[in-house]
Structure 1
């Protein structure tokens, strides 16, 4: 095997790990940015900046653009679902007072929902051991977040209904967006197609923000740093990796990587901010990792289910 081939193979192997690490830091941007801007305004600005940067990069590299209105429209629909719907729902839920741990458990159902629908809509088939992995993933996430869930319940007593509804909307949009992207996104250029996604999502969020928010922004150092982090490593790095992984793997397999985000976030919070990481949470990290490994392992000779 040639050196370039080995480098490419290694890059493909580490891409899921890099994606999880980048995606899991999204809570940092939300934590530091939301106090200074309302959720839809914040997201609209983030996605507009990311779209402009990607469009400029596509022009500089002379990359292809979506061919015709059909391809551009499909990219726009993916953007509305994956970015405006999913991210907007999560940001609004947290801003409305829903504990981040509750939101994480809710959206962690996405891999199971994606797998169930992918079997019907995309013809994907999961083996029995992979379904076991999906179940272990849900259980592991619950174990990781159990201390936080108990603390949130003890401190707040009840969760805001509007936050729960918003989180469920995010779950449905994220699932639909993943399936749509897997079905229609393979033939859309990655850089320019993602720029179109961001443009469509930003326009929708600006419209919603104009109707529901003041759109005021406090340009503090914390807000600027949070915005830069969310635009560059998250909207450019992590999202491009997500779309690339969807091109190479199944929708259900790629979605299962989202199970690793809450455990990674818990570990990062422990290392960076000194937040408590209890033995139960550590056990949940192990269970979640085993679950994802079962989903992603080669099928071998087993019986397909679904």
Structure 2
């Protein structure tokens, strides 16, 4: 399940490359959330899935939806729309495991992060930087785009920790439906303020279909299950594998260079994840 999650999650930057030239970020995401809500509602009704118990649990799920869908995806897609490269965005968001480990260590909310896990986190960060460093270009970043990327980083980190602490185990289908509905409530007013209209080209339709069926129904559901079953530090460390996997996908789909430096970075990243996630 972690390997499948990483592969699916890595396609998000590829989808952004296809979709962003034809749509503003929050309009695209509002369509994505709305279509995903319809799909999950049909799934829930067909399967008779159980709803979370209590209004408080639904509220907690709504908060995680705003953070992990609205804040994270809105930040990443807005940063890419403003010209920030996918590699740079993935590098910034890839700092999530470090923030998660720092929070866990400071609050003692889980087992304290061991020296071995700290070494793995630092090793993974080094590999992550090695993979995407060549994508950092002069003039690529701006204050607005960097602000959106940092917002995405803080949102996915806070959402992961909040869900692990406050959300009780429940059916992933109804949980996702609540999360997506909350994200839609936040993104739709922002979409109405965007001046650019949706240009429904074949690339945009394909990006939308993949975003709904694979990224939301598949990737988001897997992320929910991973957070529910694993420690926050272990789940966050999987994010280290996303930029290297994205680099491989970009090489296969778009012919982007995949040299020895990138391969070495992938090796360091995998080694770091193993150190963090293996059992004591």
The match for 1:225 is 206
Q: How far apart are residue 123 of structure 1 and its match?
A: 2.8
Aligned to 1:79: 65
Shift, 1:130, TM fit: 0.7
1:126 alignment partner, SS class: coil
**TM-score (norm: length of structure 2):** 0.96
2:133 is matched with: 146
Q: Does 1:181 align with 2:167?
A: no
Q: CA deviation at 1:183?
A: 1.3
TM-score (norm 1): 0.88
Q: Post-superposition shift, 1:215?
A: 5.9
**Equivalent-residue separation in structure 2 for 1:78 and 1:280 (angstroms):** 36
Secondary structure at the aligned position of 2:257 is classed as coil
Other structure's SS at 2:170 match? coil
Q: Does 1:21 align with 2:7?
A: yes
CA distance in 1, matches of 2:47, 2:176: 15
Structure 1 distance, partners of 2:130, 2:257, is 14
Aligned equivalents of 2:253, 2:84: Cα separation in 1 = 23
Q: Tell me the distance in 2 between the aligned counterparts of 1:56 and 1:144.
A: 40
Note if 1:40 corresponds to 2:26.
yes
For the aligned residue pairs, the C-alpha RMSD in angstroms reads 1.2
Partner of 2:244: 263
How far residue 164 of structure 1 moved from its aligned partner, in angstroms, is 0.6
Q: Distance in 2 between matches of 1:122 and 1:48?
A: 35
The structure 1 residue matched to 2:51, chosen from 65, 74, 78, is 65
In structure 2, the partner of 1:127 is: 114
- Contact 1:209 / 1:215 at 8 angstroms: preserved in 2? no
State whether structure 2 residue 254 is matched by structure 1 residue 273: yes
Moved more, 27-36 or 86-95: 27-36
Question: Where does residue 75 of structure 2 map in the other structure?
Answer: 89
**Runs of 5+ consecutive residues of structure 1 not aligned to the other structure:** 1-14, 300-306
- Size of the aligned set, in residue pairs, is 279
1:121 Cα deviation from its structure 2 partner? 5.8
Query: Among residues 295, 299, 305, which one is paired with 2:276 in the alignment?
Result: 295
Secondary structure of the 1:25 match is helix
Q: What is the Cα deviation at residue 279 of structure 1?
A: 0.7
Post-superposition shift, 1:187? 2.8
Structure of greater Rg: 1
The superposition leaves residues 6-27 of structure 1 with CA deviations (integer Å, 9 ceiling, x where unpaired) of xxxxxxxxx0000001110111
Q: Offset at 1:134?
A: 0.4
- The Cα of 1:117 is off from its aligned counterpart by 1.2
Greater Cα shift, 214-223 or 289-298 = 214-223
Give the equivalent residue in structure 2 for 1:207: 189
* Structure 1 counterpart of 2:103, from 117, 123, 133: 117
- Please name the residue that 1:11 is paired with: none
Q: Which runs of 5+ in 2 are unaligned?
A: none
Q: Distance in 2 between matches of 1:225 and 1:28?
A: 12
CA contact (8 A) 2:110 2:231 kept: no
User: Is 1:55 the equivalent of 2:41?
Assistant: yes
Matched residue of 2:141: which SS? coil
TM-superposition CA deviations, 1:174-201 (whole Å, max 9, x none)? 1100001111223333110110100110
